Structure 1
């Protein structure tokens, strides 16, 4: 039999999908039968990765796409499995990750009229009025497979949309009867289903922007995810060096600009104070950044000219978003930077004296920042600070052969500022707001880049959100070892800081009533050991840290996952207040 399910799986393979991250259910008999038949006949199809939790399945596809740019497939069970994807759908949408999600659907016949008709009680319970509507706020495209006659066209169209900028998730669903239908094989030409070509800057706007950059006295570039195309990093470095333009990374979730470069001025997170360089800039070029600054805390001066360049410069899916800019340019950053660099070479007269003086100024600022970071890392204290922990990770990894994941949340800024990476493709964050991406993403990246060592830096809250039991079962079964380092402050510090940001002298601060502490402490690394035979290590002493990190890397490189649970300063507990310990002055702490 050649069914719709067979054609669907063939289409995925022909379109270049390597893996199906699957959580199968009662709606997938046709898929399972087609997979079994293909295995028996030695027919090549995408490799199925069994995922006991859907959130991890989509997070793994997310990580694979980040590392390669290639979308993979995620297969889930009707509307329940769709909903169990949870925040991973938000992550894929907001971070513009191409992925094809397929869900079955309850059968639409109940008396045996067609193969696949309802034969289990759950088929009535799981029948909902608008299953596709669950996903509609997060996907670029959704559709229902109704027949095998055009199923390949639907798959190709879905992937074409997913891979076209701005890239993102797409969703198909197929009832059992449609997937069981016998059909005729169809062959499609891949070249007729390519994603749309990346965009460039129009000539008039290119001239205006480039001349503004060349003549500006204090230009500045802000970016967050330009490094999703590793070739764009080289072009950004070229532009920065031509005109001595410093670069700030705002909430970076890629390696966008070398940390040791003289024009690199660090990264900013939920920065509570004004960034001096941002305030002094007379021209700010924002490239690939959803949140280049937080306007009520930290923004350019009212006199500064802002140019905004992105594949989605209007953020059409964000109901409230605006940054007053002279121009909003919809273009691919790599192509746009090539255009700007070529225009400068061919048509612009550069004031070399001004450029030279600017270089000296920002080189000095960069060196001072680096010195300050090292001082913070080596501050004399008995506790393991996030900065010291990140510095130790930086010192023990081989950057050329390592990918670092950052889901440190309240320690995100410490990690991004102190990890100090310089190699394109060596660093990733989720790019979004639903916690737990780190575990599945590590598996996906290891599948995509088997020659790399994957190091996941995560908070204890993000670790728990990642469904570590599923993550480490999968890591063990599919031989995708990676190192997890937990920045364990025994609680959710983010909600506390959010509350204090609005009510710095409120009752919650007075009583230390935030409901965010994870006390009594859990042995988080043991979860990974029980579920996936990972090697658990707990670290509380500063003097032990570096040696244990080295040991953990060695074990991972030998083929076994390691989870290092590192105790860092606790979120302030209610018991500390009762004991008479003074609650720190938040404003002073934040300024520090």
Structure 2
């Protein structure tokens, strides 16, 4: 097709076809789509391209923008590829809400496409076209994107899209925004044709500069209690195995967050890692906030190196964590180079490494035994706790199941050992997990996907729209809700801040508690899911085991509403209308 000369009438699809062809060339399989008047050329262009059997991303409709952007991120986190979402004018991107924070802080290579209302006199056929105009369309999202652009009719649309994807894919990856005015998207002719981010080339980091690697290796080999801290090394599956090899061969302790499965939970390096204040050498790899300065900073004599694709945390305005060395490098490449340098220097430090390995093994054995006791004790309690949730998930999940976790460290008893089986959002916005699971399920259709979330986060996530998407795309999810009837920010945090305050005295937590408590199980059944309400570890284990089989064999979404004590310590009374516990209703 000659996109530069083809005329398809006063409302054509040439520009829309160039856009879709460029997305397909980047490996984008679906365009998450929220309907809008100025986006209709994309629908027509996709239909025409399908009729001609041309390669084109599938339009993936969502009934809420929150679901669309989260599902796109969920797809990207599993595949590692860029993704795209389209939303209507200014209103759709505003409906992305706090998940723009997640996209940016989580580093998802996401192309956000939005239209702009028609300004041509003959196209201004609705009052909405005046209402939706803004002085600077990209401004609302600019603090949460790496790049934004509003394309004009005289510019090569394919190259603009390719440039957007080049920026999104370059480390540190992140979201970009492209605004396409209504007249541009509906153009019957277009400047240029499809283009490719690969033609523009995506920049990458190597293994780091040699003097820095030599110094890090020397410091690690000379340390008595070395510690490696990481958050995002596990984004690259190659780095997971290299990190385990590094820790095993050179007796390093390692603390990784649950953002990704960077090191197996039961790995001795993880079990026996020293605390940050106790370490004499700290290596930070792909982690912007490896410690809280006011709580557990390194000692004054501790030597610190920070390595990563953004080792100065440039995206954070104020970043006061100190270091002795900072170095740009990609995780897998850096670990490969570091292992080679350690091998070169190691013979001089054999005895020290041997002593560290013996101490690490002993500490890991004791820590592992303690965690096993904690799992047994949690499941023996007469009522549910967060520890019981973690222990139950640990018992029911299979090694290759995907856990999309919004509960964080409260699920520390749930072990993950395989790369690509543990995901958190990377930011602090809640409500992401319920829809990220949709994208994860599409990206890994043969895997069981499990969502762990809190009751507040579940409500933020638009559960009805998320469950609709699970059924629409045949990606059933086993969702577990830690339901303690309120927000930690409005209950226990108030007590922490004002321990002798009036709220603590009167136990009036207005603004932090849910009264009445929503009946999540009834709502889930109305949306076509199988639902359980449970209040004991035994009921939870049974519901999780049955729910996993329902998801796997019957392809039906499952929601488990797990009633926990409230944040203030009271036993959870459950929904006011008295839903029976431990019963599945289809």
User: Which range moves more in the overlay, 97-106 or 350-359?
Assistant: 350-359
The residue that corresponds to 1:582 in the other structure is none
Q: Does 1:311 align with 2:309?
A: yes
Structure 1 counterpart of 2:447, from 452, 463, 474:
452
The 3 A distance-change label for structure 1 pair 550 and 45 is: same
| Correspondent of 1:208 among 202, 208, 215 | 215
Q: Secondary structure at the match of 1:127?
A: coil
CA offsets 1:145-195 (integer angstroms, 9 cap, x no match): 212751100111111110000100000011111111222562546641331
Per-residue CA deviation, residues 277-316 of structure 1 (Å, 9 max, x unaligned), is 3222110111111221111111221111111112111122
Cα deviations by residue, 1:540-565 (Å, 9 ceiling, x for unpaired):
23322212211000000021110011
Q: Deviations over 1:202-255 (max 9, x none)?
A: 111111111111111211111112111111011111111121011112x42101
**TM-fit CA distance, 1:527:** 2.3
**Matches for 1:250-265 after TM superposition, within 5 Å:** 251-265=257-271
With the length of structure 2 as denominator, give the TM-score of the two structures.
0.91
In structure 2, C-alpha distance between the alignment counterparts of 1:574 and 1:283, rounded to whole Å: 44
Are 1:520 and 2:516 counterparts? yes
Number of equivalenced pairs: 556
- The whole-number CA distance in structure 2 between the counterparts of 1:575 and 1:281 is 40
Alignment of 1:105-504 (within 5 A): 105-110=116-121, 112=122, 117-147=123-153, 150-183=156-189, 186-188=193-195, 191-249=198-256, 251-265=257-271, 277-379=275-377, 380-400=380-400, 402-408=401-407, 412-415=408-411, 417-504=412-499
Contact 2:258 2:422 in 1 (8 A): no
In the alignment, structure 1 residue 80 sits paired with structure 2 residue 91 = yes
In structure 2, do the counterparts of structure 1 residues 575 and 382 end up closer, same or farther at CA, with 3 Å as the change threshold?
closer
TM (norm. structure 1) is: 0.90
Q: Is the 8 A contact 1:7 1:152 kept in 2?
A: yes
**Which of 50, 64, 74 is the equivalent residue of 1:63?**
74
> Matched residues in 1 for 2:152 and 2:432: separation?
33
Provide structure 1 residue ranges, at least 5 long, that are not aligned to the other structure.
Answer: 268-275, 577-592
Contact preservation (8 Å) 1:162, 1:168: yes
- State the alpha-carbon separation in 1 of the partners of residues 296 and 504 from structure 2: 24
Once the two structures are overlaid, the 10-residue window that deviates more, 340-349 or 317-326, is 340-349
Among residues 4, 25, 36, which one is paired with 1:25 in the alignment? 36
Between 1:375-384 and 1:428-437, the stretch displaced more is 375-384
CA contact (8 A) 1:21 1:74 kept: yes
RMSD: 1.9
- Note closer, same or farther for the CA distance 1:449–1:266 as it changes in structure 2 (3 Å cut): farther
Q: Structure 2: how far apart are the matches of 1:220 and 1:157?
A: 39
2:207–2:335 Cα contact (<8 Å) kept = no
Q: What is the rounded CA distance, in whole Å, between the counterparts of 2:224 and 2:536 in structure 1?
A: 49
How many angstroms apart in 2 are the aligned matches of 1:265 and 1:200? 28
Task: Give the 3-state SS of the residue equivalent to 1:425 in structure 2.
Answer: coil
| SS in structure 1 of the partner of residue 531 of structure 2 | strand
Deviations 1:416-465 (A, max 9, x none): x2111111111011111110110111001001111111011111111111
